[in-house]
Structure formats: C-alpha cells, structure tokens
Amino acid sequence: PPPAFHNNPTQEEEEEEDDESNDLLFSCRCESAKAISTLLSCLRHVSSSSATAADISFHTSTLSQRVVRSSTTTTQKKAQHATVFVTQSSLTFHVHGMAKMSQASVDMQSGLFSDFYVSREEIPYDDDDDDEDMPEENDERQQQSPTQNPASQPKTQVVYGGEFGINLTTVLECLHVLGTHSLDKTKVCLSYNTSTAIFQMELLEDFASSTTTHGGSSGVLSTCAIPGLAVSEEEEHFSSLAVAFRSSPIVARAILKSEYIRDAMGDLNDVVGATTVTVGISPRGMELATIGSFGECLLSLPHLPTPEKEDQVFVSLECTPRKLHANSYPLHLLFMGMRGLEIGSETSVSMNGRG
C-alpha cells in the first residue's frame, strides 16, 4: 500500500504498519485535496429531502466560498449516508435520495491518485452444482480412469476491493479541517481498515518556510479516523432507478458543453417561486422552461451544426424519432443533478420513452 505521511518510522512501527496493511481494503494518495473535496461536494444534499434550489448556487461564487457558507446550515450537519465501492481501477461514492427519486455517484479513477492500492482476496468456491448437472458424464469419467483421480484441489476466485458505508458529512468536514483556501496545496491519504471498520484520512498541508531551523519545508499534519457505517439495506435497491431508466428505450440524448448548461441553471435559479421545470430535446436543440410567482423563464440552446463550423454548444444530439421530446420535473431535483457543472467540461442529458 502507498505510504502515509510518516517520517523515519522505527522498526516496531514498520511491523505494526505491515500488520495493519493486511487488513486494508484500500489505500490511496492524492497530491491535491481540492480535487477530492470538489468531487465529493457534488454529492451533498442529494439524500436530503429538505434541500431546495436555494441550497445550490450556480453563480460566480467560488467553490470554497460556497463550502464555507453551506457548512453552517442545518442541512449540512445532518448525517448523509454514502456507500463506497472499491475496485481495481476506481473509488466510487454513491448516495441516494430519501424518497428514492434521485441518486448520484462520483467515480474517481485510479489515475487521479499518485498511489492506489486495493486488497486482493482469494475466495474458495465449490462447483459441485455444475457436476450434479451432468451425472452420467461424471460416472463415465470415473469408470474410464478410476486410478487417475488425484485429490481435487480447491478452486478459488480472486476478488479485488469491496464496499463499506460512511457518513459523507463527516468526510467533508474532515477534508476542510485545515481550511478550504489551501486545499490545492494539501496532500491527502485515504484508507479503510476492515478489521476496525475505520476510514482514515491524513491531510498534509506542506509549505516552504525560510524560518525553519534546517532551511527546508514544514507543514501541518491532520489525521482523522471516521467509523464506518453498515451498508444500508436499501443498497440492494440502489440500482432500481437505473434499471427503471433502462426498461424503456432512450428517445433523446444531448451532450453539450457544461459552461452553457451552467449559465442556464443560473437563470432558472433566479426565478422566484419556481418548483417545476420542463425539459425539451429536439433536433433543433434543447429548451428549458419554468414559471415562478412573478414571472417565467424560457431558455433555448440551439443546435446549429454546419459543415464549415463546429457547433459551439452541442457535442452530439440524437432524437428517435426526430421530434420534440418534452417532460416536466421537480426543479430542485434538476439542480441536484447538475452539481457537477462546477468542474464538468461536458454534460450528458438523456430521456427515455417514459420521460
């Protein structure tokens, strides 16, 4: 596993670390805590039924300002259960809404980390069930070679990684324990110990100092140990929304540059009293419409491809059949789904036959 932020460990400490590494589900190191903080912040409020459009800002305020402002709200203090899936190539945080009307996940590929270790376990399994399906063939095989049947070796299946539950609110609070202004200069190590069910986070804020005795660098090290949570029984139904979406064919899909949809979300957020939004996708582009207490807003993102010039808004646009496909949705759920616009470069919006 990748090393944590420890200097010159003793022999006893090295032996203890070796014992602990055997119980590690995963461990990873990222050279910038800002990337982790930004991605996980996109999952806030998804599981909170009290979140409104006012909780999510799409204006020009910086992410760090929004984090500081929202950390004082009561919604932020509520526990937010997240399930973490660890695979050979990624670390995925998954949350879902209280009423199962929304779900969100952040998939952090191993390339984001400078070091990435995932446990490997060999699990024995028995294939007697397969042998029972062919009794005649097995009897014939035994009759042909009665003396050539060595002791069968147990078969094993290699399993990488696993899953565990965590309080996402606590994770974000620990990420910001050294402040949010220097997250880009803060290194972070993450690990999960299966024997203690502890999710450990180590933050190292390293900065050059001309006043140090040895003329090198100094920094602040913060270690946070977060108890894991049992994976929710509702985890089995996490994929229910995805299954429901795939149960009907996709009739419209638009992939557009995030900067344009981000500006559109900001305009929708300015409509006072708006609760629903109508989303329409057609060969001519994408339209968003909402009505509030004192006015209405209609936004049109045109699709204008030409042989000479590339479309500035859309990367691709598909409609089957080629007509307008429009449906209405709760506005606050649309805002929740667009939290990644702060760091996204392209956004995909798909609509199936059931809307």
- How many Å apart are CA 260 and CA 25, to the nearest integer? 40
Give whole-number Cα distances, 229 to 45, 74, 80, in Å: 19, 21, 11
At residue 296, what is the residue type?
E
Give whole-number Cα distances, 33 to 18, 29, 43, 185, in Å: 26, 9, 16, 8
DSSP string covering 147-176, please?
Answer: T--PPPPPEEEEEE-EEEEEEHHHHHHHHT
**Contacts with 171 (C-beta within 8 Å, 6 or more apart), sequence order:** 40, 82, 199, 201, 226
* pTM exceeds 0.85 for this model: no
- How many Å apart are CA 33 and CA 24, to the nearest integer? 21
| Backbone phi, psi, residue 261, to 5° | -70, -25
pLDDT tens string for the chain (355 positions)?
A: 555 665 555 555 555 555 556 789 999 999 999 989 988 988 876 655 444 444 455 544 433 333 334 444 444 467 888 999 999 999 999 887 766 667 788 889 999 999 999 998 888 876 654 454 445 545 544 455 445 554 556 678 888 899 999 999 999 999 999 888 888 889 999 999 999 999 999 999 876 543 444 455 567 899 999 999 887 665 555 556 777 777 889 999 999 999 999 999 999 999 999 999 999 999 999 999 999 999 999 999 999 877 667 778 999 999 999 999 999 999 988 988 887 787 788 999 999 999 9
